[in-house]
Amino acid sequence: MAWQLPPLNALRAFEAAARYGSFAQAAEELCVTPGAISRQVKLLEANLGVQLFVRANRQVRLTAESAQYVATLTELFRRLDVATGRLRDARRERPLRIMCSANVATRWVFPRLRMFHAQYPNRHVLLTTSLTSAAVAFSSDSADIVIRLGTDDWPADVVAHRLFDSELTPVCSPRLLRHGPRLREPEDLKNHTLLCSDIRPAGWGQWLAMVGLPPLETFNAQKFESSALVYEAAAEGLGIAMGEKHLVRDELRSGRLVAPWPISLRQPEAFYLIYQRQMQATPQLREFRDWILQQDPDAERVLMLPRAVRSRAP
């Protein structure tokens, strides 16, 4: 098919001049002289057999016909620009964008990234800490992978891997355990400050109910805006935190934090690594997914099917 198109340079000059309403500004954008813009517009007018501008007193104004034409032309240039950008991005490696909370980033992702970079030195990861929902992160194209707390009822267009269960247990500084008020039984919590996170406000109340103690409101409690701050406050001996067992595992092993009792509350949620199903063929995503699932013995290796499909599975 032979396209009946005017010269591309003339179209670019006309579109820029129409958008700015000025030959001079169009010339500045296209890095040419105003005279060159004028000549290209005249060339286009001759090619189309239509007057595109009304010229008067150093000003230019679109005609009724050309106003409709330039609207279509601008949209076509926009779509061409987007398609060109996508093509260039496909040829130029883009960092793998991972979004998670600051707490998950510092306590679970960071300790593993060094090993990932050692194995894949040419792969780049861009980590964003946010509590934005996965739906918003994917719809706004701000993340390739999201790691977050949730249940197994993800949308059908999302692939989810269960990384580890959510299990809550009280933790504190070993100094507090040795030198603070008595802390042998859960009832001894009445003599301590309970450190609470605004991000997960229900944790303490659920654990207290499980061991048969009164509601959180009857205890001396101190609130913080994030779990990360709660854990730091606990490590400094300011009180007792409700710890996400998997996220404080390294600190429990090192002795920076201790668990006064082997009593934990298993939550219905778990931490998942999720991404859009349409992105699962991306090499960078596959490499990171496969690698990170191998690092944690609790991680789920098999792709999760949508709930409706799983319910029919034998």
For residue range 47-64, list pLDDT tens digits in order: 999 899 888 766 788 988
The string of pLDDT tens digits covering residues 213-261 is: 999 999 999 999 999 999 999 999 999 999 999 999 999 999 999 999 9
CA distances in angstroms from 258 to 112, 195, 262, listed in the order given: 23, 15, 10
- What average pLDDT does the structure give for the chain? 87
Burial 264-292 (b: 16+ CB within 10 A, else e): ebebeebbbbbbbeeeeebebbeebbeeb
pLDDT at 312 over 80: no
Token look-up 């090192």 returns 254
- Architecture label for domain 8-91: Orthogonal Bundle (1.10)
What is the structure's pLDDT at 65?
86
Q: What is the mean pLDDT of residues 263-278?
A: 93
DSSP letters spanning 122-191: T--EEEEE----HHHHHHTT--SEEEEEE-S---TTEEEEEEEEEEEEEEB-HHHHHHSS--SSGGGGGG
Give 258's DSSP letter.
B
d(CA 267, CA 206): 9
Q: Which residue has the higher pLDDT, 119 or 174?
A: 174
How many C-beta atoms lie closer than 10 Å to residue 14's C-beta? 26
d(CA 272, CA 112): 16
d(CA 296, CA 58): 70
The string of pLDDT tens digits covering residues 7-62 is: 999 999 999 988 888 888 888 999 999 899 999 999 998 999 989 988 876 678 89
pLDDT-above-70 percentage for the chain: 91
**Dihedral angle at the C-alpha atoms of 107, 108, 111, 115, nearest 10 degrees?**
-170
d(CA 125, CA 284): 9
Instruction: Give CA 205 to chain center in angstroms.
Output: 30
d(CA 11, CA 31): 15
Query: Where are the CATH 3.40.190.290 domain residues in the chain?
Result: 94-307
Q: At 86, is the pLDDT very low, low, confident or very high (cuts 50, 70, 90)?
A: confident
Token look-up 């780049």 returns 124
pLDDT at 135 over 90: no
Q: Which residue has the higher pLDDT, 311 or 158?
A: 158
Q: What is the mean pLDDT of residues 295-300?
A: 66
The CATH number for 94-307, chosen from 3.40.50.300, 3.40.605.10, 3.40.190.290, 3.40.250.10, is: 3.40.190.290
What is the structure's pLDDT at 249?
92
pLDDT at 294 over 50: yes
Query: Where are the CATH 1.10.10.10 domain residues in the chain?
Result: 8-91
**What phi and psi, each to the nearest 5 degrees, are found at residue 13?**
-65, -45
What is the structure's pLDDT at 92?
54
Whether the Cβ atoms of residue 158 and residue 135 lie closer than 8 Å to each other: no
- DSSP, collapsed to helix, strand or coil, labels residue 314 as coil
Token look-up 């000025």 returns 22
- DSSP, collapsed to helix, strand or coil, labels residue 249 as helix
Q: What is the mean pLDDT of residues 290-302?
A: 71
- DSSP, collapsed to helix, strand or coil, labels residue 193 as strand
The string of pLDDT tens digits covering residues 109-128 is: 998 888 888 888 888 899 99
